[in-house]
Structure 1
Amino acid sequence: MIDADRLKKNWSLVAAHGDQVPLYFYSTLFLTHPETRDLFPMNMAAQRDKLVNALGAVVSNVDTIDAVVPTLQALGRDHRKFGALRGHYPAVGEALVATLEHFSGPHWTPAIAADWVAAYELVAATMADAADAAAHYTPPWWDAEVIGHERRDLETAVITLAPGTRLDYLPGQSVSLCTSLRPRVWRQYSPANAPRPDGTIELHVRSIDGGEVSTALVSLLRVGDTLRVGPATGSGLTLRPGSGPVALIAGGTGVAPLKALVEQLAAAPRPTSLYWGTRSPAGMYCVDQLNALAARYEWLEFVPCVDEDMWGSGVRIGSPAELAVSHGRCIGADIYLCGPFGMVESSRKILVGAGVRSEAIYFEPSGA
């Protein structure tokens, strides 16, 4: 039987070594199994700590593994886009155990080693089984043509894709993108529309400092280019069943998946308020689209708001969460949050402080 407490203590000990842990892990993996190098981007700076930290966190919590089986299965299906096969999992496991042993020093024992191996094999089998099953009914990725690329401002572009075959997703989910401009680097984006009859997908992309993919998508991508699109993932922002009011609170390009929820709600309307916050009116790159939706649907209220309005444009000043609370749109509503990590966290605190039940607040956990 696996001793989960012992694994957690051991992982805490190892993780205290910080950046040395992923450096050792990847060095070991690529030296002992050089065939795995092609699974990773050429520039490892953004990737370096992700895999090993995720493995350590998930595997050391093997006592709660049943609760995350659906997530592991989704990860297994999603990882096919990297070219990850069942045969790669043992190589990763060997490198992980070697890394744990190295940083555990005198605390490493045969019992701890056996626990890690058993726990990793359980996680790996769950992911690999899901990947193998998915291979029978869905491709690992879709090639999609860029049929629209509109720069809304210096940092933001609205991109329209036409996948070669229909991509199934739920409003609020994310898809991952890879461009030949940045080979083997994948980033998550949420469609800004509910599924359409023609299968086209609208994406809102804002370039960020140091963002390889976002910068390429905004500044270098052209109509006619091809992107690789991975399977849809995530459930934090998918619409829950019900008939009560809905409050949508967004920051920046976080409005994209909430716009998709509005389109979904059009099939079964509920009283809905959409509060969208940006730093200034200049950042409201899709305000005309959202105003048009509010004009079309009598059940939809749209409230744009900004941190500052130096030019007196008349937009409400304040955070979207604060305004939604002050307008009485949150108590008794299902609330969906999307935006930068800091905005989501501060909004949650505002809502809970105003008496909103935490169970009624939905968002996609950071890093999901």
Structure 2
Amino acid sequence: MDVTRLKSSWQQVAEYGDEVPLFFYSSLFLTHPEVRSLFPVSMALQRDRLVGALGRIVSDVDRVDELVPFLQHLGRDHRKFAVLAEHYPAVGEALLHTLSHFLGTRWTSDLAADWTAAYGLVAQVMTEAADASAKETPPWWDATIVSHDRRAPDLAVMTIEPHQRLSFRPGQSLAVETPLRPNLWRYYTPANAPRVNDTIDLHVRVVGGGPVSTTLVQGVRVGDALRLGPPVGERLTLSGREDVVLIAGGTGIAPFKALIDQVRSEGGDRRVYLFAGGPTRRSLYDLRALRALAEAQPWLRVVPCVSREAASDGVEGGDAVDVALRHGPWRSESVYVCGSPDMVAGSVHRLAEYGLPRERVHVEEFTTGTEPIGGIS
């Protein structure tokens, strides 16, 4: 398998942009219509994720230590889309047909052999990971909404109850699907550590008119069913025993409430500083609960902040990261950041300017490169 040839050919194909996934899925559904039910009605987002995932695989094809864990994650994650081992040959056929179509006379027998071998290895790693996961966990967990608190037109806090125990670490995320939007999965991070009664709190804000977030905020009610995918992510989980600084924007407070739960269960033997930001006081939708937590836990300090209003009544002015830096210096603490992509990127940049070593800054990254090929998250 010629790695250089693989990368070069993919770069040539990727230049055709949106035409590539359009052709791929047309070919796949035409030749194997039985797999169409695995995908959402609207394929717009899925097209981007196919190209992102393939680009990630090709770019790491010569870095096995990075590629294998990624493929294993994809294999395990595909179980929630009801992807089976017999579906992989269909995807492989469509992929080779797509590459051949766009490369034209550049598609040689040697290149075909390279891609066939590469896809064979990808399918093998993914199916083996899925098979191993199937021995330990279900492909998804059925759950029921037991409370739904609409705190703003675009935001809800809900509690859900899985029908069987779902183990996760505070700071990890779960994929969520509603029957009202089948085959559309979105990641949300529980706002609590695992409980004795197994219930899970989710904070959901409507994002860009997205069908899943809109439905979870505006279209569901108590008693409705949901499905949950297996927990993913490690970067927002606690490690070590050092004090922590938590910088949150909007619903980014959700994973940090879970981390606070964990510290409390461990005995509160570390200091925790939470800087919870939003544009206005109205956007601080969980402020009352956060202040109650701080009053009950002497090791926890909560500093609310607003970026578009003046400071008042214990709420400081400025972006959460700037307020956090004013309260420094942070010489040994681990710093965690969660919020919108722009908020996280801006905060990481400011922390770097401040001189904080990158290894002490923890952020979770869900990109198109980590999304599944055979489904949508």
1:179-258 mapped onto 2 (5 Å cutoff) = 179-240=178-239, 242-258=240-256
Alignment-mate amino acid for residue 26 of structure 2:
S
Alignment-mate amino acid for residue 254 of structure 2:
A
1:1-368 mapped onto 2 (5 Å cutoff) = 2-240=1-239, 242-268=240-266, 269-309=269-309, 315-328=315-328, 330-367=330-367, 368=370
1:12 offset after TM fit, Å?
1.8
- Cα deviations across residues 61-94 of structure 1 (Å, max 9, x unaligned)? 2111322423322221121111100111111122
Distance, in Å, in 2 between the alignment partners of 1:15 and 1:26 is 15
Alignment-mate amino acid for residue 173 of structure 1:
Q
1:313 offset after TM fit, Å?
5.3
User: Is the Cα contact below 8 Å between 2:140 and 2:229 reproduced in 1?
Assistant: yes
1:303 offset after TM fit, Å?
1.1
Q: Tell me which moved more, 264-273 or 36-45.
A: 264-273
Distance, in Å, in 1 between the alignment partners of 2:311 and 2:202 is 29
User: Is the Cα contact below 8 Å between 2:309 and 2:317 reproduced in 1?
Assistant: yes
Distance, in Å, in 2 between the alignment partners of 1:232 and 1:285 is 26
Aligned length: 366
Alignment-mate amino acid for residue 8 of structure 2:
K
Distance, in Å, in 2 between the alignment partners of 1:15 and 1:249 is 37
- Cα deviations across residues 334-356 of structure 1 (Å, max 9, x unaligned)? 11111111111111110011111
Alignment-mate amino acid for residue 243 of structure 2:
P
Alignment-mate amino acid for residue 258 of structure 1:
F
Q: Residue 199 of structure 1: SS of its match in structure 2?
A: coil
Q: Residue 142 of structure 2: SS of its match in structure 1?
A: strand
1:186 offset after TM fit, Å?
1.0
Choose between structure 1 and 2 for higher RCO, CA contacts under 8 A separated by at least 6 residues.
2
- Cα deviations across residues 31-77 of structure 1 (Å, max 9, x unaligned)? 11111111100111222221243123214421113224233222211
Percent of pairs with identical residues:
52
Alignment-mate amino acid for residue 277 of structure 1:
G
1:231 offset after TM fit, Å?
0.9
4+ residue segments displaced more than 6 Å: none
* Structure 1: unaligned runs, 5 residues or longer: none
Q: TM-score, normalised by structure 1?
A: 0.95
User: Is the Cα contact below 8 Å between 2:60 and 2:67 reproduced in 1?
Assistant: no
- Cα deviations across residues 288-344 of structure 1 (Å, max 9, x unaligned)? 111111112111111111111169555211111112122115332211111111111
Distance, in Å, in 2 between the alignment partners of 1:60 and 1:192 is 35
Distance, in Å, in 1 between the alignment partners of 2:272 and 2:295 is 13
Alignment-mate amino acid for residue 250 of structure 1:
A
Alignment-mate amino acid for residue 32 of structure 2:
H
User: Is the Cα contact below 8 Å between 2:173 and 2:190 reproduced in 1?
Assistant: yes
* Structure 2: unaligned runs, 5 residues or longer: 371-377
Distance, in Å, in 2 between the alignment partners of 1:107 and 1:238 is 47
Q: Residue 277 of structure 2: SS of its match in structure 1?
A: strand
Q: TM-score, normalised by structure 2?
A: 0.93
Q: Residue 45 of structure 2: SS of its match in structure 1?
A: coil
Q: Residue 38 of structure 1: SS of its match in structure 2?
A: helix
User: Is the Cα contact below 8 Å between 1:309 and 1:315 reproduced in 2?
Assistant: no
Distance, in Å, in 1 between the alignment partners of 2:74 and 2:107 is 29
